[in-house]
Chains A and B, each alone.
Chain A
Amino acid sequence: MSRLLTSATPRHLARTRTLMTTTSFTPTQLSIRHSILSLCRTKFPNSYWREADQTSSDPTSFHAAIASAGFLGIALPESYGGAGLGISEATMMMQSIAESGAGMAGAQAIHANVYATQPLLKFASEEMKSEVLPRIVDGSERVCFGVTEPGAGLDTMSLRTTAVRQMGEDGEEVYRISGQKVWTTCAHVADRIILLARTSPREAVSKPSAALSLFCIPLDRTQEGLTMRRIPKMGGRAVDAAEVFFTDYTAHASCLIGGVEGKGWEIVTHGMNAERCLLAGEALGLGYAALERAASYAKEREVFGRPIGKNQGIAHPLAEAWIRLEAAKLATYHAARMYDESTASEASSAVGQQDVDAPTQKEVGVAANSAKYLAAEVAFAACERAVLTHGGMGYAVEYDVERWFRESLVPRIAPVSREMILNFVGEKVLGLPRSY
């Protein structure tokens, strides 16, 4: 092997080096990984993310670069400018973004554009799809997702934001929206919000979920009825998370997704397992990035005349983190593959072909939630260990690991807590009675 290279390693090679083993991934997944890592590490190095985090400034140029390289449409059909791939590929993309050093901030800057467009694709009218999807894919518009409210987190059924259908001033039907959303990622830079709101009082419908509807609403900042407030937060500070207030905000009636009220919950849940997979991938990326940094520091940093990595007290926790990351990786891509298989089987059963071996929604849900749980826990462990490996330097911004550590709390909390996943597995897999 050429020693000529060791003295002058081309920059384009160093950028795709990682700790993860890549056996059993498809050539397409590997091409995506190679391309994303190259793009991110060349154009958006850690200094970019440190600065964005420190100054709480949106990574606008990053979003634009990912869009112009055609990646935002990864899981959308070619007819809308997408690539027509599945969640297995989208997960790989999100993992590679996080793994490049961009961390959760990089992932969150585009997450909703990849994930929240899925329900749109399945349920929206052709008119809405052809208006919105190509603009999200080419990056000319960004989208955010508004479900959570101060009084409705995991108990979505109790959400209070209302959308009332009325005759507008110009004689066209509109929705008047009032209420508050919270933790809306990228609200300040988004052009549209996918919004879950109540279209009937809870008691007026047969089941609580039938009172909710999903909208795709342009964010018109000239309307007085729309205000936003940025939430100061622990990590991922480059990307804003906001409180969004609607007071008699007016949107054209055509913004209702699916054309019928009461379908909101069904539409939202459709994309949830996909989002779990993406989050699991993002967590993995974060974990591998932190571990790689820790291992390289442990090789270089000398104390008592030898590298600290020679001490098993340093080496073993890092080795354990790697083993757990690899296991979580298998769980994650297993879940993503199941999701894609079930989606493909839905599509073929729609044309009258049943695939009896396809995973059920419950199986997909169990796999996706389990993967998210595992990946989030090991990402946190890897990030914490990376900080500790660096000793005092781990606390310094310059070494990046403190940024990743702060961000590693996100996949543990969102989009569903660890405790709710354990509840879900307890009930659905073990058959235990529900506690809530």
Chain B
Amino acid sequence: MNDPPIKINETHKQFHSLHPRYRWLDQLRGVIVFFLLIAFLTWQFSSTLGLGLPFGVPPLGPTWMNHGFKYSNSNPPIITVIDMGSSLFMFVLGISSAISFNSKSKKIGLWYAWVSGISRFFALLWVNQVTKIFYRILPDWKLTRFDVICILSWIFITTLTIILRITLFKKSNEKILLMLGWSVLSVIIWFPTVEENIWTIFFNETLAYLAWASLFAVFFLTLVKNPDRRILASFGLFAIHIGLWELAKTKLTHPTHWFFEVLPGTPLDVVGIPFNIINMTAIAISATCVSDWLLKSYPTQLDGIKKRILPYWVFILCFHFVVDFLQPARHDGITASLAALSIFFAIFFLIMFYAWDTYFDAKMPFLTPLGRNALLMFLLQGIYLFFYGFFWFNAYDFRRRFPGLLGNAIGLGLFFVPIALLICIAWVLDRFKIYLKF
């Protein structure tokens, strides 16, 4: 069978993009955002059973859509697909990074691709800061004078950037420098308002992992052009992680705090081994390789799938199976086992959506608009988590107020309304071609 044509629904210019827009990739992004939304909701209405509390009640929603550690009070806790949410998101981000980096460096130049990558890095760090501030100020809506000054400064810079972007720099490639300036300044301006330490903001949160791993993915894309060799970097990082984790395991109960033992009482005692960044980078590098194997390295996409992606898919599952005996997959620290399992599931979804799109000419309804604004949807979910938190802390709180069948029906509604609302927002944004991208 010959390589079928790539399906691109609309011209990529409509997406303000230099590269074609793949429907299978949007669907893949969409499904991961969808799972992340479910994860937010099951988190909010999770059972207290896993916490070992005496007042355990059943959670709301399917059991397998909970975080495993919130479900079973065991060591190691059971792993579900929900525990892999951020790792799967990282994989998708890695694929997108590779597509956009290759396209930008080919059409405009390496400098442009790099500046774009660095902008994304700072933008993700800035979003991480924003979420921290959001959670700090929202309970009582109290802003200090300093907060107000920072926010006003940021609004001024953002407005200025937008004006410059749509006027002076509209048709100039230098607009990417404008974006870089804006993202760097945003991080600098918001930084003083954050209460958490440097380690937490820049190294120890999901968005920080995504930021670092995206940056390293760009670094390795530049450094090692051949994906067959670049994949070795991914396994090198896995090996480093395994070694460090094994060392840390013997030092302390919580591996991410290894340096607490080494430098206690010094300013560096907040610093730990960035375990999650190491493995997120390994995932991102794997994703760039998968992307290149599929779209760049072989004359046909089928060749790439058959010769590299599928063998790698089988291999990574075997790798997970073996490593899991020594270092079980964990949610709270992305071990090599969890990272490998995430890569396996990400490729599973990829080959499925690719086949749907390319051969079956089918797509899951709603996933495409969700996927096209994946990052915005990922951030919007946090709002539900926050607002639901005003009313119910967990399933026990909810079921105490709404017991029995009525409680189940209301629970179902509490899951469906946010999902429907998010789909509506995604659809409207897609309808008017509004896409939030870094």
A and B, one complex? Answer: no
Instruction: Spell out B's residues near A (CB within 8 Å).
Output: none
The interface of chain A, by Cβ under 8 A from chain B, is none
